[in-house]
Structure 1
Amino acid sequence: MGYRIAIAGATGNVGREILNILSERGFPATEVFGLASRRSQGKEISFGDQTLKASAMENFDWSKADIALFACGSSATKEFAPKAAAAGCVVIDNSSLYRMDEDVPLIVPEVNVEALAGYTKKNIIANPNCSTAQLVVALKPLHDIAQIKRVVVSTYQSVSGAGNAAMDELFTQTRGIFVNDEMVKENFTKQIAFNVIPHIDVFMDDGSTKEEWKMVVETKKILDPAIEMTTTCVRVPVFVGHSEAVTIEFAKPIDEKQAREALREAPGLLVVDKREDGGYVTPVECVGDYATFVSRIRKDPTVENGLNIWVVSDNLRKGAALNAVQIAEELVERHLKAKT
C-alpha cells in the first residue's frame, strides 16, 4: 500500500531536498518520478539508495501519479499543474502562483491543517513563501494564548532562496574579493558578498517589494486576517537559512515565561534562549534541521503587551521542501486512500 509521487523540478535545490526528505521520513511511496525541463532530462538525482533519471515534464502522463510536488517556478507550474490536477493527481505547489487563490488552501500543517480539506476545489494545495512558513509556525502558539494585534518583521534571507545561480554568485564574489577579480552582478542588483541588500523580488507601487507583500497577505490567509503587519525583507550573504527579527503586539497580556512555555510545547519549534554568549541559534546551526528555532525572547517595553523574538529556519527545508512533504503526509493521513 502506498502512493505514486512525482517531483516537478527534481533537479533544483528544493526538488532535491524534497527527495531527501521523502526518503528520510519514510514516506509511503511505491513509485517516485523525478521530472524536470527538457534541458535537464536524463540528469541523475538521488532518492535514498536509489538513483533516478529525470524525465521531461512535457512528456509525463500525470495520471501515473497520485501526488505531485511542484518545485519548478510559477511559469512551469502554470502550464503543468492544471494538467496534473485534471488527471486526478493532487498538486502541492511551492511557487507563488496559487497562494492567494481563494479556492486553493495555503497550508502550514502546524498552523492550519484543517484548511487542507479545501484541496478538492481545484486538486491543488499551495505551499507558502519560505519566510512566511517559519514565521507563522512561531506566531501560532502565541496567537492562541494572547491574540496578536500587530507584527513587525525584518528578515535576513539567505541566497539559496534565489536558487543555485545566486549561491554560485555569492561564492564567486567572495572569492573574487580576495583575488581582486572583477565583481560580476547577475542575480542581484548589488554586490551580495560582504553586503546586505534590502530588496527581494520586484518593487510595488507603495514602495514595498513583492516579497514583503507576500509575507503580509500569506500570514493573514494562514493565521488570521485581522493581524496588522509590516515587513522589511533583506538578502544577506548567507548560503542557507533564513532569520527573522520579530516584534509582536498582543491584545491580551503575555509575559516572557508564558511565551517561552507556549513555544516549547508547540509542534515544529525548538526554543534555544539562554541569556549568555552564544545562547541563541544562527543560520549555520539550523541547516539540515527540520525545526524552526526561536531565540531572544524578551519584552518589548514600547507597547503595553509586546514581545520580541528571533526566528531561524532552514529555508530549503521548513521554508519549502519539508513543509511540502508534511502537507503530503497530512493529505494521505486525512484524505487520500493508498493504492494497492
Structure 2
Amino acid sequence: MGFRVAVVGATGNVGREMLNILAERDFGADEVIAIASRKSIGQTVGYGERELDIVALDSFDFTGVDIAFFSAGSGVSKEYAPKAAAAGAVVIDNSSLYRMDPDVPLVVPEVNAHALKDFKKKNIIANPNCSTAQMVVALKPLHDEATIKRVVVSTYQSVSGAGNAAMDELFSQTRAVFVNDPIQPENFTKQIAFNVIPHIDVFMDDGSTKEEWKMVAETQKMLDPDIKLTATAVRVPVFVGHSEAINIEFEKPIASGEARALLREAPGCLVVDKREDGGYVTPVECVGDFATYISRIRKDPTVENGLNIWVVSDNLRKGAALNAVQIAESLVNQGLLTAS
C-alpha cells in the first residue's frame, strides 16, 4: 500500500517543484492531492505525466492523509498545519514558523536525519531556510573531520526565493532597462535588474536581517550550537540558484586537498573544482539538479586553520522542495512512517 500525500501551496514555485520531485523520485504515493487557496480552483498542476486539479485548502479534510507538505507561507502553516497534524498527517513545513520550535525537528537529511525520531511531539517537521540548507550540507563533513569554530558567509540569492512575483519583477525590469521604460520597484526595496540588494527579510535590532539571523540560528540547531557564524545575505539578479562564499575556521588542521576528498564522498555534495577558467559551478548550471555543488576550495592563510569554499545549489530544489521530499524518504527509510 502506498502513501496518501497532500501538497499545500501546489501552485507556487516550491509547491510545483515538490510535485515534480515526488514524481521524479518515484515516491511511493498511491494518491497525491494538490491543494491551494480557493482562488486557484479550476487550475491544474503537473505531477509526472498527469495533471492534478487544485483542491481548496479551506474545505479540505486531512483525515487519511499520511504526509502533508506545506509550502504556502507562515500564515497558512499557522492556521492549517496543526489541523493537518491533529488529523494524523505528518506535516513537513517549508515556512519559517516552526523552525526554532524546540518540539519540532529542523532537518536536512544529510546532516541530522537522526533528529526525525522526535517528530511525533507535534507531528510536524520543519524544512530549513534555503540558504542554510545548502550550506550545512557542505559544512557537515568538514565539521565531522576538523570541528568548525567560526563561519563567515556571504550569500548571492536568486529572486525565485522571493516567489513568482519577484521573478516577474526581474524579468520586467530587465526589459525596461533595454527599452528605456521607467523602473518602479514593487517586491524589492530597490531596482533588482543589473543590481544587487544587501537586504533579505526584515531588519533586526542588531542591524542584521532576519535572513542572516536564520542562517545563524538554524545552523546551530542542526549542526552544532557552538559554531559561531556571521552572514551577509544579498539578493542578486539571478532567476534560480543560490550561491554562497563561505569562509571557515576550524579547531584542527585541514588541508584543502583533504577537504576536497571529504566533500567528494559526502552525501548530497558534488565537487567541481578545477583551478582553470570555468573550473567551477555557477547558478545557471545547477538549475534542475539535486546536488549541492562545491568549488573554489582553498586555504585561507589569514587564520591558523582556515578554508574558503564556493557553494551553489538550486534553491527551489535542495533549498526547499527536494529537502522536504528527502525528509519524507528518510522517515520511511528509518521505519518512522508507514502508509495508513
Q: Would the TM-score normalized by the shorter structure come out above 0.5?
A: yes
- 1:64 is displaced (CA, Å) by 2.8
Q: Summarize the alignment of residues 141-220 of structure 1 with structure 2, pairs less than 5 Å apart.
A: 141-220=141-220
The equivalent residue for 1:244 is 244
Distance in 1, matches of 2:78 and 2:42, equals 23
The equivalent residue for 1:66 is 66
Report the identity percentage.
Answer: 75
Contact kept, 8 Å, 2:298 with 2:309, in 1: the verdict is: yes
Q: Deviations over 1:218-272 (max 9, x none)?
A: 0000000000000000000000000000000000000011100100000000000
The equivalent residue for 1:2 is 2
**Where does structure 2 lack aligned partners over 5 or more consecutive residues?**
none
Which sits farther off after the overlay, 49-58 or 306-315?
Answer: 49-58
Contact kept, 8 Å, 2:64 with 2:88, in 1: the verdict is: no
Are 1:233 and 2:214 matched, yes or no? no
The equivalent residue for 1:254 is 254
Distance in 2, matches of 1:299 and 1:336, equals 43
User: What is the TM-score with the length of structure 1 in the denominator?
Assistant: 0.99
The equivalent residue for 1:269 is 269
Amino acid at match of 2:156: Y
The equivalent residue for 1:291 is 291
Amino acid at match of 2:338: K
Contact kept, 8 Å, 1:332 with 1:338, in 2: the verdict is: no
Query: Residue 154 of structure 2 aligns to a residue in which SS?
Result: strand
Amino acid at match of 2:327: I
Query: Residue 54 of structure 1 aligns to a residue in which SS?
Result: strand
Which sits farther off after the overlay, 4-13 or 329-338?
Answer: 329-338
Q: Summarize the alignment of residues 27-176 of structure 1 with structure 2, pairs less than 5 Å apart.
A: 27-176=27-176
Amino acid at match of 1:72: A
Distance in 1, matches of 2:276 and 2:97, equals 43
Distance in 2, matches of 1:140 and 1:42, equals 44
Query: Residue 63 of structure 2 aligns to a residue in which SS?
Result: helix
Distance in 2, matches of 1:103 and 1:28, equals 28
Amino acid at match of 2:339: A
Instruction: Count the aligned residue pairs.
Output: 339
Distance in 2, matches of 1:303 and 1:58, equals 55
Distance in 2, matches of 1:49 and 1:242, equals 29
Amino acid at match of 1:150: R
Amino acid at match of 2:321: A
Contact kept, 8 Å, 2:148 with 2:249, in 1: the verdict is: yes
Amino acid at match of 2:5: I
Which sits farther off after the overlay, 157-166 or 175-184?
Answer: 175-184
Contact kept, 8 Å, 2:7 with 2:70, in 1: the verdict is: yes
Distance in 1, matches of 2:42 and 2:90, equals 25
The equivalent residue for 1:311 is 311
Which sits farther off after the overlay, 43-52 or 133-142?
Answer: 43-52
Distance in 1, matches of 2:339 and 2:207, equals 48
Distance in 2, matches of 1:231 and 1:242, equals 14
**Where does structure 1 lack aligned partners over 5 or more consecutive residues?**
none
